[in-house]
Amino acid sequence: MPVPTPAPTPVATPAPSPSVAPAVKRKIGEKRSTLAVKVEDPLAVAVADLDADGRAEIVVLGARELVVFALEADALSERARVRLDEPPAPIRSRSRTGALLITALDGEPGVSILARTSDGASGARFAWKAAEKTAGTLVPGTLVKRGPLTYYPLAAVGAPGKRRVAVTDLTPGRDSFEAKHVFFLPADANPESPAALPEELYALEASTVGATVFWGAVDLAGTLLIYKGQLDKADGKLGNVGYAFEIVDLDGDGAPEVVTTDAAAPGGPDQVIIRRMRGATPAGSIARFSSKFGIVSVSSGDPDGDGVPAVFALARRNGKAELMVIE
C-alpha cells in the first residue's frame, strides 16, 4: 500500500487522461525530431508517466532488455535499464516480436510495465521505483521485477477497480496472433466478444478518447480495423498499413486521430501518417513524415507535461533504433 508521506514511494495514480483537459484545438505535426536510441534489437515503445509527476517517460523494449528514458532538451536521457533474463524460447518466431504495455493493474500499486518478447520463454512484469529526488537534480530510478508474464500483453481497458487486460500468445513459429487466443484478465471479466476480430492479426490495441474506447486491429493483409466501444463489429477500416499504429486525440478537439505506418517490411523506408477520424472511420491524411528505416512501434504521450501529447515512432535500423518524435 502507498504510504501518505513525501517519501519516494511510488504513488498509485494512473496516468491522467488527456481527455479531462478542456477542448482546445491545436496544430498537429508542427515539429518533428529524430533521436538516437541506445537499445539493441528494438521491438516496441510505450509512453506513460511512471512516477506520476505529470511528465511521461519513454520505455523501449529490446529483444533482451527494457530501457526507460526521459525526454529532456530534445534528447533522450536514460533513467533505467534492465536485462530480460528469462530462459530462451523453445520456438522462435520467424521475425522477432515484442509486446509492451504500461498500465495500472488492480491490486498493484503504481503502474506495471508488462514486457514480453519472442526471444524469451516468458516475459516479466516490472514496477518503476523512482530514486529520491534532490531539487534540480535528475536521478535515475530502477525497474523492479514484479513477476513473470506468460502471455503477450496487448491492451488495457476499464476504470480502476474494473481494469481488464487483453492478452494472447503468438501462433507458434509465427509473428502473428490468432483471435481465438485473445482473452481478458482477470479471467472472470470477459464480456468483450472478440468474434469480430480477424482470424489472425499482427496487432491489437485500445485507446480511450473522452469516455470512448477505440480498438484497433491489424490483419495479415495490412488492414486496420477500428472498433468503437466493443469488439463486436468493426466500425471503420483503413487498408495498406503496417502493424504499428496509434489512436489518440492529438489536437485536443475531443475526436481521435489515427496514426499509421506503411505496410512495408521492417528495415526499409517507412512513413508516419496522421489522419483525422469521422466516428471510427479514418479520413484524409493531415500530416506525413518519412523515415529512412522501418517503423516497428508507435505510441503517444506527454513528456513535457504541457497537456499536448506527442507521437513517438520507433524505427529499426540493422538492430539499432531511432525514435521519431512528432509534436
Residue numbers at the binding site for Ca ion (CB under 5 A)? 49, 51, 53, 55, 249, 251, 253, 255, 302, 304, 306, 308
The SS3 call for residue 19 is helix
End-to-end Cα, the chain, rounded Å: 36
The SS3 call for residue 194 is helix
Strands (E) across 164-223 are located at: 164-168, 177-178, 183-185, 200-209, 212-219
Nearer to Ca ion by Cβ, of 69 and 227: the residue is: 69
Nearer to Ca ion by Cβ, of 251 and 270: the residue is: 251
Question: Locate cell 535499464: which residue?
Answer: 81
Nearer to Ca ion by Cβ, of 19 and 122: the residue is: 19
Q: How far is the CB of 50 from Ca ion (least distance, A)?
A: 6
Q: How far is the CB of 15 from Ca ion (least distance, A)?
A: 9
Nearer to Ca ion by Cβ, of 55 and 181: the residue is: 55
The SS3 call for residue 179 is helix
Q: How far is the CB of 304 from Ca ion (least distance, A)?
A: 4
Q: How far is the CB of 108 from Ca ion (least distance, A)?
A: 18
Q: How far is the CB of 250 from Ca ion (least distance, A)?
A: 6
Nearer to Ca ion by Cβ, of 131 and 263: the residue is: 131
Contact 149, 125 (CB under 8 A): yes
Helix ranges (H only) for the chain are none
Contact 104, 165 (CB under 8 A): no
Beta-bridged to residue 290, according to DSSP, are 271
Residue 286 contacts by C-beta under 8 Å, 6 or more apart in sequence? 28, 29, 257, 274, 275, 276
List strands edge to edge, sheet with 183-185: 152-157, 164-168, 183-185
Q: How far is the CB of 306 from Ca ion (least distance, A)?
A: 4
Q: How far is the CB of 57 from Ca ion (least distance, A)?
A: 5
Nearer to Ca ion by Cβ, of 25 and 162: the residue is: 25
Nearer to Ca ion by Cβ, of 78 and 306: the residue is: 306
Which residue type is seen at 182?
A: V
Would you tell me how many other CB atoms lie within 10 Å of the CB of residue 176? 19
